[in-house]
Structure 1
Amino acid sequence: MRLELKVIKDTLLVQIGGELDILAADRIRQEIDRVMQARKIQKLILDLEEISFMDSAGLGVILGRYKKISAVGGKMYIVRAHPGIRKILELAGVHKLVTLCQDEKEIISL
């Protein structure tokens, strides 16, 4: 599992690679929460381009971060989700809460 976090102004861009499953969920959750607490993050972008597999623990990470960013009046976005991952997000109803985008360029410029 690969995890890279980058802060750009009030935006946290999280790039995740590999499997977003129960083995990776705690580390991802802890790292995102640590940065969100340390900085005044208003936009959270999850880049899922390199995700090869996602299970219910991965959905839990996404929904939990949505709840945290929403609690401070922020917004969450998912970019570059492959069709299989996008289908999982849609079946779980995540697309009704989190905006799915092609890339982060438009989000960061807002």
Structure 2
Amino acid sequence: MDVRGHLDLLLLAVLAAEGPVHGYALIIALRDRSEGAFDVPEGTVYPALHRLERAGLVTSRWEQAAPRRRRVYELTSEGRRAQSVKKREWRRLVAGVQAVLGPAAAQAAV
């Protein structure tokens, strides 16, 4: 499934739910929480995490976990606010699309 345009919201939402997590665990959580719908490759997720970090929405630190170091990502307070805003925008978009498509489309999606 194509997540372009929505990846930031998905990553912020997983970080909000999971708390501090290393990148690969975030990828697994995204896949698991979406019941396999979002199996996003590392080459997509890590650049997005770096972009979110540059924007001040995510912070990261190195942690020593046997047998190697891992970079752990966490939402900042600004990231929590951004996640709330993006979630509201998403809900408005979904409501608008459903209104345009009509009630039959909502039933067909289930």
TM-score normalised by the chain length of structure 1: 0.28
Looking at secondary structure, tell me which structure has more strand per residue: 1
* Larger helix percent: 2
Instruction: Output the TM-score relative to the length of structure 2.
Output: 0.28
Larger Rg: 2
